[in-house]
Structure 1
Amino acid sequence: MEVQESYPVDVDSLRADFPILQRKVGGDISTPGEGDDDTVPLVYLDNAATSHTPDQVVDAIADYYREYNSNVHRGIHHLSQEASVAYEEAHDRVAEFIGASGGREEVAFTKNTTEAMNTVAYAWGLDELGPGDSVVLTEMEHHASLVTWQQIAKRTGAEARYIRIDEDGRLDMEHAKELIDDSTKMVSVVHISNTLGTVNPVSDLADMAHDVGAYIFVDGAQSVPTRPVDVEAIDADFYAFSGHKMCGPTGIGALYGKRDLLDEMQPYHYGGSMIRRVTFDDATWEDLPWKFEAGTPPIAQGVGLAAAIEYLDDIGMENVQAHEELLAEYAYDRLNEFDDIEIYGPPGDDRGGLVSFNLDGVHAHDLSSILNEQGVAIRAGDHCTQPLHDKLGAAASTRASFYIYNTKAEVDKLVDGLEVARDLFA
């Protein structure tokens, strides 16, 4: 690896926390990490899909299973009490991390951002939307937002509207003012585009929504892992993100909602844990946030998410953001050196930590395969933004995304891999 230069984070020390980054790839996938054929060092640039998990988080999860594994809120024995305390404190830790002063009552754990979106769409949208109402989204929405609200609008007779993007991949805020009107009941917007890297003005959109009596749901899947987020400063009514993109485990996400809204909403899932009293005729619900967490919850994942937050807090989210932005700008500038590369989204000094692009004459999937042979792991496809790719006139794109353990040398390795692709397709 390169000699450590001036990065906002101590990359060498951080990389030591992620043994997977020492892997070599390219051999028999049935025996990962084994055999003489595993000769290519891994360069992992697919962090917008899933980041890696440091030893500290893995250890926290292992400690749960080894020392106090038990179901929560159901037993008075010692292990159940320990697990319950750890699980509840994980909610408190998430609330603190995103600036939710209401604490655990405003944070429900979900499977991921997608389930959080569906929870609000079904628990709030089916009751509150009807003919004559509108839901305003953007042309850069992830399918988790776009498809969910699209289908809820179809069921309720509401209209789904989409804020245009301009040539630089930014929102047309004048168009937003036109679309967000007295018919609007919900604005659902991605904080950072997972394809364009655009950082959207979510506070301004929140003001627009609230001026007409609407609510705003912010998809924070790419923002909470990468920068300081304060849901109250944004004035978000709902905000969601996933653990697996922020050094945490898979299988857990979080839904923030303002207390009064969550109080009024009916549950989306039914079953154990979320009920207070059941008869043959009816049921009443547990207090927040448990009424939105039916069944055995993601206990180990909650413990892991809390550990991931501690890990990121030790680094400092301002430093995480600065490091990502440095690498994104460097990658943008390196890619922009070539006339045969088309980059999507805003300039390099005004984006989140990812760059999507296409190389002339090479399909994104072919390029991904060639880069994989060089050990470079990137994402190729539509990134769950098919309508956006239609708008861009691209069937697919190649996306490199960065995190706290990546370096400029790894960006250079990506660029070197593009030269191999040029030679193959010349």
Structure 2
Amino acid sequence: MSSDRKMRLGAFLMAGGHHISAWRHPDAHAPAGVDIAHFIELARTAERGKFDMIFVEDAAAIRERNPDIASQAARSTGFEPLSLLAALAVNTSHVGLVATASTTYNDPYGLARTFASLDQLSGGRAGWNLVTSASELEAENFASSGLRPHSERYERAEEFANAALALWDGVDQGAYLPRGEGRFFDHDRLHPLSHRGKHFTVGGVLQSQRSPQGRPIMVQAGASDVGKELAARTADVVFAASQTLGEAKAYYDDVKARMAKYGRQPDDIKIMPGISPIIGSTEGEAKAKYRELQELIPDAVGVALLASYLSIQDLSAYPLDGPLPDMPPTNLIQSRQQLIIDLGRRENLSIRELARHFAGARGHWQVVGTPEQIADAMEERFRAGAADGFNVMAPLFPSGLEDFVTHVVPELRRRGVFRETYEGSTLRQNLGVGAPSGR
């Protein structure tokens, strides 16, 4: 592993912050979810810190079925990600723009076309976080037949990814020739797709120039076996969730080892686990910030969030101060369910303790400390070959991201593990992942 490799950073944006009760904090920006000026400020802060990308997640439904819980969780409003990133594209110059979009409730041509447009608008800074929707609430909004089985969701995702990649690669560089030789396009450089599969039939070409970065960056977050296989074949970036250094290293090695069979090199994928940093000028100040946020969590909200990621309807039948009961296998988010079970058993946590811990970053790695301590923790995983970088999940916006850029980024630079300036103009260039091989 090269000694001069640099850490990659993403800023995971989520309205008021990643902590489930961030909206209750006295420093919270109340209309964050629907305030474009707020998101522009966050994107510009990330760009000032020379982050590789900003990352926006999505769910096509209200997150909680119980209206009383939903009303206390502040996760009911927000911009559709691709619309939001189009606005941010014209307010930034270098930072990458990654949006979540589901293969379960979209079609390949429409989504490939939209990402191609975002890529052109931004000068080659677009990325697609490919997900398979596992929410029954989303299924109710789109499919009368209900939620598809886990295996079928990934089978559909594989075919969807194949079709989208083929559409992007179906337009060669210089295919469209305004004023060129009396023709608007060179038909020899356009390669219509003729796809007939189990889930989709797609024909034709995109009415868009080839991406300035070859094609949009592909991001994935699957941690199941089929999810890791899909990532090894198609992803440029993997967003992972790992609690311990051992877990992070095992996941990193597993995904990288799968790549050779697809003719790919380990550096062709950047694995970027989530980190939720709570930063103070002293360790005591950081811990006080953490306690202040934790005290804002209503038990009902924390337990409901925990139950949703465990893929069960209700935990109210079990004592809050007792251990987590045995969980049946799920058809929903399998990897996250196992992460929670492992955490509860490893730390011997009660349901209440596990819910409060989980509510801070939904199973991602939380680090509480000074800028030096945050940088220590990140550098350890980076140098141990357990991460190529991190997706920074500030618990409270805008202050959490501002603190990271102002205090942690300079510390990472002092250690020689993070850039001083952007290397290129496209997201692919800045991430340091190779250009796509084409058709």
Q: Same fold (TM over 0.5)?
A: no
Structure ranking higher on relative contact order (CA contacts 8 Å, 6+ apart): 2
Q: TM-score, length-normalised on structure 1?
A: 0.27
Q: TM-score, length-normalised on structure 2?
A: 0.27
